[in-house]
Amino acid sequence: MNMHPDNPPTVEELQTALSLLPHGPEFRFIDKLLEMNPGQSGVGTYRLDESAEFLKGHFPGSPLMPGVLIAEAAAQLVGVVGQSDPKHKPLKSVRLTAVRGMKWKGAALPGETIVLESREVTRFGNFIQAKVTAKAHDNVIMQGEITLSGEPAD
C-alpha cells in the first residue's frame, strides 16, 4: 500500500490499516488517510465533531480538543504507518510507550479538521518511533516524537 494525495485510500483501506491497532471504533482519532508510505510516513485527518462527548467538559462554554487526545491521534497514525511496514510483521498489543519533546502550540476547535503527519518512522525490535505534527486551521498546534511498543508477532 503506497498512497499519495492523487490516489487517496478507500474507506476499506483505511479500515484495514486501523485494524492493525488495538483500539475500538469508539476511540479512533483518524477519519482519513491522505498519504501513506508504509513503514516510513503518513498523513491523516480527524474532524472534531461538535457533538463529541469529551467536549462537554473540556471546556464548558469554550470547548477544545484535549491536547492528550491530539497526541493520541498522532500515536494512532504512527501505529498505522509502522504496523503497515511490509518488511516487518505487525506487533501484537501495540501501545504508546513514550512521548518526547511534545509541544502544544495551539488548539483544535469543534468543527475543525486536524491534519496529522507522521514522518521518519523507525522500527527497531519491538519499538516504532516517529516525529509527529498536528495542524488545525493551517497552524501547527502540536509537534514532538512518539514511541510505540508491542510484543513480537508469532
- Positions marked active-site: 58
Q: Which residues pair with 114 in a beta bridge?
A: 46, 136
Task: Give the closest residue to 13 by CA, choosing from 28, 27, 34.
Answer: 34
Element (H, E) at 71: helix 67-83
Angle at 105 between CA 23 and CA 124, to 5 degrees: 45
Element (H, E) at 103: strand 92-104
Q: Map grid coordinates 475543525 to a residue.
A: 112
